[in-house]
Amino acid sequence: MDKIYNIGAAIVILGALFKIEHISIGPLTGGMMLTIGLVTEAIIFLLSAFEKDETEKEKEDEAMVAMEARMNGVITHKIDKLLEQANLDVALIDKLSNNLANLNNASEALSDSVKVNILIKEYNDEIFEAIESFSLLNKQTKLQMKSVNKNVTVNSDIVEKSVDVSSQMNLLESNLKVLNEVYQGMLLSMGKNKSQK
């Protein structure tokens, strides 16, 4: 409400300023601003008539606190009655407290075993990954061994063929020597025939 009072007062003051100085901004003239401000203030005062004063608010707050205290008293009384009916004594409450502590310890131990299981699973996953890596490496090694074996076979074939080519070259060389000797013999005999003629 304080904010609304201030807004209304600000509009009235601006309206008075517009009226005294004969200022107008578009359709906003001093008379219109004064009218808007005064109507706003009238609405604010009308609403404030229904606003509760501080003493009424304090009385309502005190009544609420008293009612909450009564409710808390009733609830406490009912809880006490229930405890009496249940025959709860100090030994039973101590036993319940010990059981809760044991349950807490068991849950912590269970938490530790869960952590151990998680670590075991992570270890198993890492072992599995290592086995897969070794398997892949083994496959690659086998492929490389096959490739090496093929190369050895090809090299062996090349050596065999080169030995065969070498023997054929030797045979060709000896045949060429024989042919050269025959050719020289023919040339000699032809030269002799020419000289005799």
Helices (H) and strands (E) in the chain, counts: 4, 0
DSSP structural state of residue 26: T
**To the nearest 5 percent, what fractions of the chain are helix, strand and coil?**
90, 0, 10
Residue 178 in domain: no
Residue 46, in any domain of the structure: yes
For residue 25, give both structure tokens: 């901004």
Average pLDDT over residues 71-90: 71
Average pLDDT over residues 74-101: 73
* Paired tokens of 141: 């090694």
Q: Is residue 88 part of a domain?
A: no
Answer yes or no: is 78 within a domain.
no
Model pTM? 0.28
Residue 97 lies in a domain: no
Is 41 part of a structural domain of the chain?
Answer: yes
Cβ atoms of residues 22 and 30 within 8 Å: yes
Helix (H, G, I), strand (E, B) or coil at 1: coil
Domain of 15 in residue numbering reads as 1-52
Tell me how many domains the chain contains: 1
Report the share of the chain in percent with pLDDT over 90. 1
Q: What is the pLDDT of residues 170-186, one digit of tens each?
A: 899 988 999 988 888 88
Low-confidence winner among 6-15, 53-62, 64-73, 122-131 (lowest mean pLDDT): 53-62
Residue 197 has pLDDT above 70, yes or no: no
Q: Domain for residue 66, yes or no?
A: no
Flag whether 12 is in a domain: yes
